[in-house]
A and B are shown apart, each in its own frame.
Chain A
Amino acid sequence: MSTEKTFKLDGRDIPFDDGDTVMDAALRAGEYIPHLCHDPDFPPHGSCRVCVVGVNGRHTASCTLQASEGMDVDNSSEDILEERRMLLQMLFVEGNHTCPACEKSGDCKLQAVAYHAGMLSPHFTHFFPKRSIDASHPEMMFYYNRCILCGLCVRVSKYEDKKSVFAISGRGIDSRLVFNSPSGKLGDTDFSPTDQAASVCPVGAILPKYLGYETPIGQRLYDFKPISVVGDETARDIAKDKLTNGGPDE
């Protein structure tokens, strides 16, 4: 008799170990639960809520939900899909996500998750916030327009790079990413393109300078494969690879 612990995800038995979250176990079993602020290599954050699932009638973030024996997890009912679409729509209208001209388009997780979720329109009224660019760093750019406050750069810079370049400041709608330097400028931090945090951004908020649209349409990460097939590791590898390219000599 097998002693493997399992829970059900859309009717399929998913094995898990003690301490696993529903997200951990599902991804390991090859089941995709949409996520933006989560990366399997780093501690969960539970901020974007796009990984919402239904468990025993409650909707909760799967990236922070401990798996337990006998759970019945709903990852694909129309209720869940609609809630995900709404969360994505709110992310889109809260920032300025101009996909048609964005250099991350085709490689962007937010865009890919929105396609996967079947989001066809922003639905809500755009906020059109006035946000700037921080171009003070000699090699990297920060685009406030595109930041979805997932906190991945914060966690990776702190736990992997041991630098704490980033933090989220403010509350509610006034939350924003800040940089750990006396001037508040990215250029005055010790951030480097070789940092793990430089390639972890799921959107086009943190990008290398002097490069854009290097990958032809048709060869971008999500041009032909949905994000459920591409996976997190491939996305990270591609982002790191781009950072190894150089810009113009100065």
Chain B
Amino acid sequence: MTSPLETAERPQDMKRIVIEPLTRVEGHGKVTLLQGKNRNIRQARLHITEFRGFEKFIQGRPYWELPVLVQRLCGICPVSHHLAAAKATDMIVGAGELTPTATKIRRLMHLGQTVQSHALHFFHLCSPDLLFGFDDDVQHRNITGVIEDFPDIARQGVLLRKFGQEVIRVTAGKRIHGTGAIPGGVNKSLSLDEIRYLQDDIARNIGWAQGALELLKNIISEHYEHHMQFGTIQSNMMSMVRDDGAFELYHGGLRAKAVNGDTIFDHVDYVNYNDYIRESVKDWSYMKFPFITSLGEEEGWYRVGPLARINNCDYMRMPLAETERQEFMALGNGLPVQSTMAYHWARLIELLYCTEAIAELLCDPDLVRKELRIQGNLQGSGTGVVEAPRGTLFHHYEIDERGIVEKASLIVSTTNNNQAMNESIRRVANQYLDGNRLNEALLNHVEVAIRAYDPCLSCATHAMGKMPMELNLVDASGELVDRLEKRVTGRIMRTI
């Protein structure tokens, strides 16, 4: 299932084109393209150019710091890391089932963060491509262009995001990097004033979410074939679902579906994720490549995030979102929808779902109760999984008898989509760039495909100690003098 454009033969004979930095995505990345004879694209790769070390430097820290410490991985969806780590530490403190208040406060926090993240992605990052076209003047194709040409849409985007951030602030203490979730529960419930404050805005936000979805559907329908085939690839889909198959973001089992809609696994207890998912390493990328173990590295890669979640769930509990889901699923004629641009569509259905779900949850009397925390017997390890805005997020920790973290493993949402993003840019390269003289507008097509996934590149690169590396020493004339390669095993070899 992987594209032949991953690795070209005789790359030294080809012209190298680099898109760097990738714009309107979170984090720092680049795309490298190799163009051979007749300007044919022979290789296309997505690279993450920044480097983090969270799995390493949280070793030696006490487990109760994890929810607050690890969320610093990200400034856009820190709540996902906060909650995944909190769920893992719930297991560590032997909390079992949390109090209804704790669970609902966390769910509310998570819904708020999905609203703000999805609004940020659609309005601030992607609407310039969708409203103005992929080949619009680069000076205009940006958020200031949207503010100038569509001030109402821009304003709605800003205010929708603000609403999501306010939900986070009320539940976690701060809009970014709060402290609400603690091992075994939360550190606060809500006051009636806080609930009324959020309720004041909710109807307007549901309306804006509906408006954003309608806007996107109109844009897609104007050039339906173009959008539906743009960067489209065939992939497996993985996400969390509730026990009854309903759409779920906070807690449930893992479900994976194949391209033909067949179930690969279902209702898997995420604690056992290691039995179902593995990660491979490639010598040209800092980011790992996860795959479904039973299908193998070549066939087992998958997509996560809004597209996978909407494709995988049996229904959505919120009525407006469920109606939209049914319309969306009709696109696939009974099969999972594979269009890469359908990520936007699925994301906005989720945005609508989250605003509806917040409205429902704000009426729940458990939000104001004071039973915040459960404690049990200390355990040696814990696993926490949530559906982050960008996809399934795994945190696993092991601690020693003193409560100190010995081992940490994170599979971050964007990492799950690594192979898929690479496949999508190869598809776009084949569709639009192959044989052409490249210009900014064509190169933006590659970025449009990546943006559809809403990658968080700084979250995705967190490995340390195992990354392969190549060091080339070149003299003043450009002649390669020496080369060292560090293999994934850690072995360093001179390869010249």
Contacts and interface: CB of A to CB of B under 8 A. Distances in A.
B231 to A, nearest CB: 38
B246 interface: no
Interface of B: 60-62, 64-65, 67-69, 72, 93-94, 172-174, 177-180, 182-184, 187-188, 375-378, 402-404
Nearest to A219: B188
Chain A interface, DSSP helix/strand/loop, else mixed: loop
Interface string A198-218: 000000000001111111111
A210 B173 contact: no
A132 B60 contact: yes
B65 A212 contact: yes
A103 B378 CA distance: 20
Contacts of A136: 402
A189 to B, nearest CB: 16
A238 interface: no
A154 interface: no
A213 B179 contact: yes
A247 B179 CA distance: 18
Nearest to A132: B60
Given A247-B375, A250-B377, A218 B62 contact: no
Given A216-B173, A248-B376, A211 B187 contact: no
A119 B113 CA distance: 32
A249 B377 contact: yes
Contact of B68 (A103, A141, A215): A103
Contacts of A120: none
Contacts, number: 69
22 contacts: A101-B69, A101-B72, A103-B65, A103-B68, A132-B60, A133-B61, A133-B62, A141-B62, A210-B64, A211-B64, A212-B62, A212-B182, A214-B182, A216-B173, A216-B187, A217-B179, A246-B375, A248-B375, A248-B376, A248-B378, A249-B94, A249-B375
B403 A215 contact: no
A135 interface: yes
A100 B178 CA distance: 10
Of A103, A213, A219, A247, most buried by chain B (CB within 10 Å of CB) is A213
Interface of A: 100-101, 103, 132-133, 135-136, 141, 209-219, 246-250
A136 B403 CA distance: 10
A209 B403 contact: yes
* B-side interface mostly: loop
Given A133-B60, A214-B187, A248 B94 contact: yes
B188 A216 contact: yes
A141 B69 CA distance: 17
Contacts of B178: 217
Contacts of A214: 182, 187
Given A103-B68, A249-B375, A213 B402 contact: no
Interface hub of B62, B67, B404 (most chain A Cβ within 10 A):
B62
Contacts of B173: 216-218
Nearest to B67: A213
Nearest to A137: B402
A72 to B, nearest CB: 44
Contacts of B183: 248
Given A209-B403, A217-B174, 17 more contacts: A100-B177, A101-B65, A101-B72, A103-B65, A135-B403, A141-B62, A212-B68, A214-B187, A216-B173, A217-B172, A217-B173, A218-B173, A219-B188, A248-B94, A248-B184, A249-B375, A249-B377
A218 to B, nearest CB: 6
B198 to A, nearest CB: 16
Nearest to B171: A216
A215 B187 contact: yes
Nearest to B93: A248
A31 B376 CA distance: 47
A102 to B, nearest CB: 9
Contacts of B182: 212-214
Most A-side CB within 10 Å, residue of B60, B67, B187: B187
Contacts of A218: 173
A249 B404 CA distance: 16
Contact of A248 (B177, B188, B377): B377
A159 to B, nearest CB: 30
Contacts of B376: 248-249
